[in-house]
Structure 1
Amino acid sequence: MSAENPRVEDFLAPEEYPAWHPAAQGLAQDLPGESGAYASTRTATPYTGKASAAAVSSRDDGEVAEAAEPARQSKYTSRRNPNLKKGFRKPPAKYAARSPFAPAIGAASAPDNETPQRKRSQPLFREGSALNEPVTDEEMLVQGVTPMPEKRGRGGKEPESEFTRAKNIVLNQLAASPKSRAMLEKKLVEKEISAEVIEDILNRFEAVNLINDAEFADMYVRTRMNVKKLSRSAIRRELKTKGVEGELAEIALEQRTEEDERADAHELVRKKLRPSMNLGDRAEKEKVMRRLVAMLGRKGYPAGLAFSVVREEVEAYACEMGMASEDSYFSYD
């Protein structure tokens, strides 16, 4: 020890210091040497913000000791490699050679003949079972089972057959609203489906009762007479345009009786009468009656029925509203 840097430990013996003094425990004071640097052999521990296992711990008897084993660094506190770009992960070695980006990641492209083949799928059933043997399309058709289409690769989509396209067209049409066979056939012709496929697909749908002209006609007549209040003749003409005529149409029209037609005609005329109509004036009255008769004629009612219903309703409304009627005569052209 040089005279320029005396230490306290040089003047007193360790046993002469009080118990709380570090020199009494055999610890020497670290002072700079002649060169100005500390001669301590301790390794500096960087500050991490957490108590390390090398920190000095106090004991009950007042003695101070250091942990013999330093704390292990957690994986969450390790520094990130700055050479790796964020979000980029190097693929495994077995896929690196087959990657189209092999030059970019530093892997050599593998030749075509060295590309590993995929493992073949194991049989679904136990070895030796007859269920593992392939079944031809002819055998499936004999058993009444439609063959499954062949699977294609990821790069392409199997083209839709004409039969499948026709089936999808019919299903979409029936899902929108009920259709007759003639309406569906007309739609398939517009989509340029061949006549053989049209006949086949329509027969299949009729066999499972998805196409039923009798039920279609019954539903159509019931809807048109309840909603639109059409007459039998008007509904018959509309059914003919839908491809339903003859016996099927007449059976469906049986639910539309003459009494129902007359009651609906009275209801239609009654809804058209307004207090603003001057039924006391003959010219105004004839004008109103002609318009009402024409309205019933557009709905298919006969001229005689339309005229009698209009005259009865107009006279009854005029009496109810207190309008003087000069003459109830009305000539229908």
Structure 2
Amino acid sequence: MERTPRERGGSPESRASREPPLDPEERARALCLRLLTGTPRTRRQLADALRKRDIPEDVAEHVLARFEDVGLIDDRAFANAWVESRHHGRGLARRALARELRNRGVDAEQVSEAVGLLDAEQEETTARELLRRRLPGTRGLERAKRVRRLAGMLARKGYSEGLALRLVREALDEERAAGLDTAEEEPWLWDAE
């Protein structure tokens, strides 16, 4: 049986009015800790959250600097973990990862270092794996439509047009050689280099 607010010691509003209000620094610390509990965040993400809650800028700067000093905010570690997670989990290329990190407020030098952890060979291997998983779903479509869909999927994940088209052509050639492709051939797609 659920208890009424009166049985629980009053309404939430009356309990809040009995507690002294937190000073801006305590509010800032509490907000940052709450936000960092769910998922890692960048310094800028936390600064934006503090700004939205009307925490004075000098107080926010002090709290954020303290959180950096004790290691609760580390944009470099955030960027490295982000690249590792999003590349392996979603197959994103360096270009897409860099854009996401910049949007989260990571410093350009740290973005370069983090995406630099991926080399071209690793990126190509991931793109091939994405194609391997998506290729069967396009069987039976016209070759031109397959090329557009598969290259478009890779482009949305941040792969360059040249790499995407080359890998799609190779995958479709391998499929054709294995006798898995039943669509009519359109030679003009294979002649364009």
TM-score category of the 2 structures, normalised to the smaller one: 0.7 to 0.9
| Alignment correspondent of 1:309 | 167
Opposite residue 314 of structure 1, the aligned amino acid is: L
Bigger helix fraction:
2
The 3-state SS of whatever aligns with 1:330 is helix
Is 1:233–2:95 an aligned residue pair? yes
Given the alignment, which residue of 61, 71, 77 partners 1:215? Answer: 77
**Aligned equivalents of 2:165, 2:116: Cα separation in 1:** 24
Shift of residue 160, structure 1, vs aligned partner:
1.4
| Corresponding residue for residue 248 of structure 1 | 110
TM-score computed with the length of structure 2 as normaliser: 0.84
The yes-or-no answer on 1:288 pairing with 2:150 is no
Q: Partners in 2 of 1:199 and 1:193 — Cα distance? A: 10
How many angstroms does 1:156 deviate by? 3.3
- Give unpaired runs (5+ residues) of structure 2: 1-16
Deviation at 1:202, TM superposition (A): 0.5
Of 297, 302, 313, the match for 2:155: 297
**Alignment equivalent of 1:318, drawn from 164, 168, 176:** 176
Whether 1:189 and 2:51 are equivalent positions in the alignment is: yes
AA of the residue aligned to 2:134:
K
Quote the RMSD (CA, aligned, Å).
2.0
Q: What is the aligned residue count?
A: 174
Which structure has the bigger radius of gyration?
1
Cα displacement (A) at 1:275 = 7.3
Show the counterpart of 2:189.
Answer: 330
CA contact (8 A) 2:154 2:164 kept: yes
Change (3 A) 1:276 1:163: closer
The worse-fitting range, judged by mean Cα deviation, of 219-228 and 270-279 is 270-279
Query: Tell me, which stretches of 5 or more residues in structure 1 are unaligned?
Result: 1-154
Stretch of structure 1 that moved more, 242-251 or 166-175: 242-251
Are the structure 2 counterparts of residues 205 and 290 from structure 1 closer, same or farther at C-alpha, using a change threshold of 3 Å? Answer: same
1:330 aligned partner, one-letter code: L
Name the SS for the 2:18 alignment partner.
Answer: coil
Aligned-pair distance for 1:249?
1.0
Partner of 1:137 in structure 2? none
C-alpha separation in 1, matches of 2:114 and 2:138: 41
The letter of the residue matching 1:251 is E
Q: Scaled by the length of structure 1, what TM-score is found?
A: 0.49
Aligned 8 A contact 2:143 2:186 in 1: no
Other-structure match for 1:118 = none
| 2:27 partner amino acid | R
